[in-house]
A and B are shown apart, each in its own frame.
Chain A
């Protein structure tokens, strides 16, 4: 039961207002579900800090404010490489509300945007922490107690064809993930250098697949390499059973969909 709603002009003030009895709300698509069900914390903390909705170029990438919505990502000229991912999240109303920062905390089977950010090697800046941005993989591991996300630094793929995302859902165009896969495969002279692959809905959080990355690293994206990657796709994954698919089904199809994604990237 909510007892108070506190709206702060800066993220720093919002951070100071946080505590064990408080939850931070951005777009509301996750938090309001718990509020409606009467199972949320008792204090809702919000922030109208304008920096939360900033998108700016930074070095080799783009820094995205935690409060930027999926709809903005889908249309902004600096985030075109992430537009197909944003368009795969929810329906139009959800995309108008759901934020990039919130997606990092979305429980299974949600969080497809975080899967893409994980594959890109994104880093996370926190409110009130002036040190270096933290790798998203670390943040996802202890996301229950990390603090307030200020922004996310997403490296931009050197070539658009180096990055691809796939979401498998039963209902189209709007459906929840049976699974999702994102891959960043930069190629130099036809060889993959710096492979990054991540799966969504194949564990309790978005998971990086170091096994698939090892198979792909240094190889060309040919039929034999793709077959080896598909064969090892399940290593390190632990898919849950839910109303959309059983763990068994997810295990059966993960390699198939990885193969399709890699074949798409090989065609360019």
Chain B
């Protein structure tokens, strides 16, 4: 079966790799490109562990056809930090103990960043809504919600 060459932008850098016919974006990113930050949870669009941003809009990578990102901008949790400097959300997740097993964390971060990008001062309800497509089985969500709110407050101060 013919593979399709895909050229796209991943976390600000141009990347190219080959996609199998029908391959989903999650598998393409992890196996083809080597970005292991989006996680494979359910493979059917329920858990949100594979959440990535495509042209600034959150998508589930497991339900996205790899070749549909050709020429587009994909951002994952791996692109949040700048060198050794963590993103404010990552710092906040750490300070507020928002990651236990950590499997949902990359998806949570991508959903939270999408929220703060369009709404820098979200209410608690906004945060709950924004992460409602991401399942966490460890934290009970409260530390995650607090982390996002704290990151937003920190951002508002600067």
Residues of A within 8 A of B (CB): 1-5, 7, 25, 28-29, 32-33, 35-37, 40, 44, 46, 71, 90-94, 96-97, 173-174
B44 with A33: CB separation less than 8 A: yes
B67 with A5: CB separation less than 8 A: yes
A25-B65, A91-B48 in contact; A96/B57 too (CB < 8 A)?
Answer: yes
Closest to A48 in B: B68
Residues of B within 8 A of A (CB): 1-2, 4, 21-22, 24, 43-45, 48, 51, 57-60, 62-65, 67-68, 111, 114, 128-130, 132-134
Distance in Å from the Cβ of A57 to the closest Cβ of chain B? 25
**What are 21 inter-chain pairs, A to B, with CB distance below 8 A?**
A3-B1, A5-B67, A7-B67, A29-B60, A32-B24, A33-B43, A33-B44, A35-B22, A36-B24, A36-B44, A44-B22, A46-B68, A91-B132, A91-B134, A92-B132, A93-B48, A93-B51, A93-B58, A93-B133, A94-B133, A97-B63
B132 with A174: CB separation less than 8 A: yes
Closest to A176 in B: B46
For the complex, give the distance between the alpha carbons of A93 and B112 in Å: 12
Distance in Å from the Cβ of A75 to the closest Cβ of chain B? 11
B128 with A29: CB separation less than 8 A: no
Central interface residue in A5, A93, A174, by most chain B CB within 10 Å:
A93
For the complex, give the distance between the alpha carbons of A92 and B133 in Å: 6
A2-B21, A173-B128 in contact; A97/B59 too (CB < 8 A)?
Answer: yes
For the complex, give the distance between the alpha carbons of A172 and B16 in Å: 40
A93 with B60: CB separation less than 8 A: yes
Central interface residue in A1, A37, A96, by most chain B CB within 10 Å:
A96
8 Å CB contact of B111 from A35, A46, A90, A92:
A92
Distance in Å from the Cβ of B116 to the closest Cβ of chain A? 13
For the complex, give the distance between the alpha carbons of A3 and B1 in Å: 6
Which residues on the B side are within 8 Å of A37 (C-beta)?
A: 43-44
Which residues on the B side are within 8 Å of A5 (C-beta)?
A: 4, 21-22, 65, 67
8 Å CB contact of A28 from B64, B129, B130:
B64
A32 with B133: CB separation less than 8 A: no
A36-B44, A91-B134, A92-B129 in contact; A1/B63 too (CB < 8 A)?
Answer: no
Additional A-B contact list (10), CB under 8 Å, known A37-B43, A92-B58: A3-B1, A3-B22, A4-B1, A25-B65, A32-B62, A36-B63, A90-B45, A90-B133, A93-B48, A93-B111
For the complex, give the distance between the alpha carbons of A37 and B42 in Å: 11
* Closest CB pairs A-B (n = 6): A91-B133, A2-B22, A174-B132, A32-B63, A33-B44, A93-B133
